[in-house]
Amino acid sequence: MTWNPATWRSKTAAHQPVWPDRAELERIEKELASVPPLVFAGEARDLKAKLAAVSRGEAFLLQAGDCAESFDGFHADAIRDKLRVILQMAVVLTYSSGVPAIKVGRIAGQFAKPRSNPTETVDGTELPSFLGHMVNDMPFSEGDRRPDPHRLVQAYNQSASTLNLLRAFTKGGFADLHRVQAWNQEFVASSSQGQRYANLASEIDRALRFMEATGLSSQHSEIHEAELFTSHEALILQYEEALTREDSLTGEWYDCSAHMLWIGERTRQLDGAHVEFLRGVKNPIGCKIGPATTVDQVLALCDALDPDHEPGRFTLISRMGAKTVGDNLPPLLEAVKATGHPVVWACDPMHGNTFTSETGHKTRHFDDVLAEVGAFFQAHRSVGTWPGGIHVELTGDDVTECLGGSEEVHAKDLGRRYETMCDPRLNARQGLDLAFRVAELLTGEEK
């Protein structure tokens, strides 16, 4: 029962790469165990306090970013544009609904992917599947697909520079609310959602001017700075263990690779290594739950991962699919409510709605995304619980990966800019569109 950062090693870890060079992996683990932490325990506690407000129904969680970050095309512009759409969505949610939005990126560490099959066969050749840039590379060759532990160091380094830039953007002027109009990038501004956003931004400008004119200073840090926390799926446990540090203030263990970590739908086995590892770190943590999740499983996850009923500690991220969420979620909500566990409930409307288009692209339809979020809200209304947040895959770029949206992406458009490393993401317009719809759901003004 006693926990330490290595106790997961005596359990079975699902969806792990087969590392061909164990000695090199061990050397890299030692190297990573001595590097500076990426985030601090105090920041993780701060996020936990904010998620506690979500668990009480006083705030809303916006968790968003790439399905998988890439070592290629690692540029400041892409990070800025992703931050920009997250800031826009948060402003829409907060201004329209009056509920604070807690921003958590799938960013600065989201480099590892569980896959349905451990191997892929092309023309009779079988190679390991692509498991994200933290493990191997995408091209179908033996060298590219060979799991390489040096990638763990590269993931750490890229996470550090991404986080450095995010800290600069959020604290150094870019995220100032006085610039709320300037976040509306060109290809978004021309769309109907962009126009709607521009109107809302003008109102915010007016409100800020009003505050200043009445002598109510707008010199608060909340106006000039934004707060973006980081998160990723804690899949490769050697990496997570190596970045786990004992907090000098409290003597508690924190996984300092990100503020929040989550367990995927495929690795949430109660007796598995992922649950074992994450139960011992004090960060806020999440767990995905798919359509087949039972009441017993959810209650056992709550007990294993949040035995002390600590508000803000545990987020359940349901990803049931638009068609099943209405039937499958309410019994889980009822059961958790009856135990008094103060969990945050978030809706991932992406992973239960993936299909292959007639053009052969893995895609999702924006209507299904909206339908799942709508049914998620409906389920919470019927049970009397708080629909605490959304968890979405998006990018700031003008990609064509998900169908639909008010500037409709059609199946024939998918090949135009299909750039994801893994799952199809909402583009910035679709992200903004979603934020407006969620704001309507929050205020009960949905059509």
Task: Catalog residues that contact ligand PEP under the rule CB under 6 A.
Answer: 67, 114, 233, 264-266, 288, 319, 351, 423
- Does position 69 bind Co ion by CB under 5 A? no
Closest residue by beta carbon to ligand PEP: 264
* From Co ion, ligand PEP, none, interface partner of 265 (C-beta below 5 to 8 A by class): ligand PEP
CB atoms within 10 A of CB 54: 27
Q: What is the nearest approach in angstroms of ligand PEP to the Cβ of residue 390?
A: 13
Q: What is the nearest approach in angstroms of Co ion to the Cβ of residue 114?
A: 9
Q: What is the nearest approach in angstroms of ligand PEP to the Cβ of residue 337?
A: 23
* From Co ion, ligand PEP, none, interface partner of 151 (C-beta below 5 to 8 A by class): none
Q: What is the nearest approach in angstroms of Co ion to the Cβ of residue 99?
A: 26
Sequence-separated (6 or more) residues with CB below 8 Å from residue 322:
349, 352, 353, 368, 369, 371, 372, 375
- Give the x-and-dash track for 198-217 against Co ion (CB under 5 A): --------------------
CA dihedral 211, 217, 221, 225 (to 10 degrees): 40
Q: What is the nearest approach in angstroms of ligand PEP to the Cβ of residue 354?
A: 9
By C-beta, is 69 or 233 nearer to ligand PEP?
233
- Give the x-and-dash track for 296-335 against Co ion (CB under 5 A): ----------------------------------------
Q: What is the nearest approach in angstroms of Co ion to the Cβ of residue 304?
A: 24
By C-beta, is 348 or 397 nearer to ligand PEP?
348
* From ligand PEP, Co ion, none, interface partner of 435 (C-beta below 5 to 8 A by class): none
Helices 428-443 and 366-383, interaxial angle, to 10°?
A: 20
Task: Confirm if 85 and 150 have CB atoms less than 8 A apart.
Answer: no
Q: What is the nearest approach in angstroms of ligand PEP to the Cβ of residue 262?
A: 8
By C-beta, is 91 or 235 nearer to ligand PEP?
235
DSSP string, 182-222: TTS-HHHHTSHHHHHHHHHHHHHHHHHHHHHHTT----SHH
- Does position 423 bind Co ion by CB under 5 A? yes
By C-beta, is 53 or 347 nearer to ligand PEP?
347
Sequence-separated (6 or more) residues with CB below 8 Å from residue 351:
265, 288, 290, 319, 423
By C-beta, is 37 or 114 nearer to ligand PEP?
114
Structure tokens that stand for 95 in this block: 């201004």
By C-beta, is 41 or 89 nearer to ligand PEP?
89
Q: What is the nearest approach in angstroms of ligand PEP to the Cβ of residue 208?
A: 36
Region of 18-26, 84-92, 157-165, 422-430 interacting with Co ion (CB under 5 A): 422-430
By C-beta, is 44 or 316 nearer to Co ion?
316
- Does position 67 bind Co ion by CB under 5 A? yes
- Does position 66 bind Co ion by CB under 5 A? no
Nearest to 135 by CA among 244, 25, 31: 25
Q: What is the nearest approach in angstroms of Co ion to the Cβ of residue 394?
A: 11
Helix (H, G, I), strand (E, B) or coil at 75: coil
Helices 150-171 and 76-97, interaxial angle, to 10°?
A: 50
Strands 228-233 and 101-106: what pairing?
Answer: parallel
* From ligand PEP, Co ion, none, interface partner of 288 (C-beta below 5 to 8 A by class): ligand PEP
* Residues facing residue 389 across a β-bridge: 61, 346
By C-beta, is 266 or 309 nearer to ligand PEP?
266
Question: In angstroms, what is the C-alpha Rg of the chain?
Answer: 21
Nearest to 380 by CA among 49, 89, 94, 60: 60
- What's the rounded Cα separation, in Å, for the pair 300 and 307? 10
DSSP string, 234-276: ---HHHHHHTEEE-TTT--EEETT-SEEEE-GGG--TTBHHHH
Structure tokens that stand for 278 in this block: 């994450």
DSSP string, 419-443: --SSS--B-HHHHHHHHHHHHHHHH
**Residues in the site for Co ion, rule: CB under 5 A?**
67, 423
